[in-house]
Amino acid sequence: MSRRVVFAAFENATDILAAVRAARARGLAIRDAYTPYPVHGLDAAMGLRRSRLPVVCFVAAVVGAALKLWFEFWTAMVDWPLDVGGKPWNSLPAFIPVTFEVMVLSAGLTTVGAFLVLSRLWPGKPVAVPATRATDDRFVLAVEETNAAFDFAQVSRLFAQHRAVSVEERVEEVRP
């Protein structure tokens, strides 16, 4: 199975923002935007929803801290109870520094892992360069064909109205 993708390159951020808004108004399916630096408002113009990574980070931190506290209480009271100077076995203030460190570690590692899985980045993944100079000094917008009414000439004219430097169409093979 194959899919047609149109890549339009722009020279500045305002042009790509205007092109994204016009493409969304026309109902075109925007696949991605490649920019040399973060463009304010591009995610909202593309219609992207907020990331769920902060929720993943928070849940991982809470679970990591809870498991660490449980482990320390279990170790101190059940598995290896030692009476050191008459101190209680369940001394929470002694557990706080290590619990905090484990909370930060579990939140960080889980967030990085979730980011790599959700963005489909893994070691050895082939690099797909959308256009020459895509992230050096050009802003590239990728629009995919979604139905039979997709017309490259109309899409090309739309991007030309927004000062596209180049517009190119590619046919990509989709692996099932």
pLDDT (tens digit, 9 = 90+) per residue, 72-127? Answer: 989 888 888 777 777 776 778 888 999 999 999 999 999 999 999 988 888 888 87
Tokens of 133: 């100079």
Give how far Cα 116 sits from Cα of 8, 43, 113, 125, 143, Å. 27, 19, 5, 12, 24
Question: What is the arithmetic mean of pLDDT over 2-10?
Answer: 89
Q: Can you give the pLDDT at residue 172? A: 79
Q: Evaluate whether residue 144 is within a structural domain.
A: yes
At residue 3's C-alpha, the angle toward residues 175 and 135, to 5°, is 90
Tell me the residue range of the domain where 69 lies: 53-118
CATH of the domain at 16: 3.30.70.260
11-53 pLDDT, tens digit per residue, is 999 999 999 999 999 989 999 999 999 999 999 999 999 999 9
What pTM does this model have? 0.74
68 and 109 both lie in a single domain: yes
* DSSP three-state, residue 150: coil
Q: Evaluate whether residue 130 is within a structural domain.
A: no
* Tally of domains within the chain: 2
Q: Evaluate whether residue 126 is within a structural domain.
A: no
User: How far is Cα 66 from Cα 99, in angstroms, rounded to an integer?
Assistant: 8
Q: Can you give the pLDDT at residue 176? A: 64
Q: Can you give the pLDDT at residue 68? A: 96
Q: Evaluate whether residue 63 is within a structural domain.
A: yes
Higher per-residue confidence, 62 vs 124: 62
User: What's the N-to-C CA distance of the chain in angstroms?
Assistant: 8
pLDDT of residue 1 exceeding 70, the answer is no
Q: Can you give the pLDDT at residue 25? A: 93
Question: What is the arithmetic mean of pLDDT over 65-72?
Answer: 95
60 and 113 both lie in a single domain: yes
Q: Evaluate whether residue 66 is within a structural domain.
A: yes
Q: Evaluate whether residue 127 is within a structural domain.
A: no
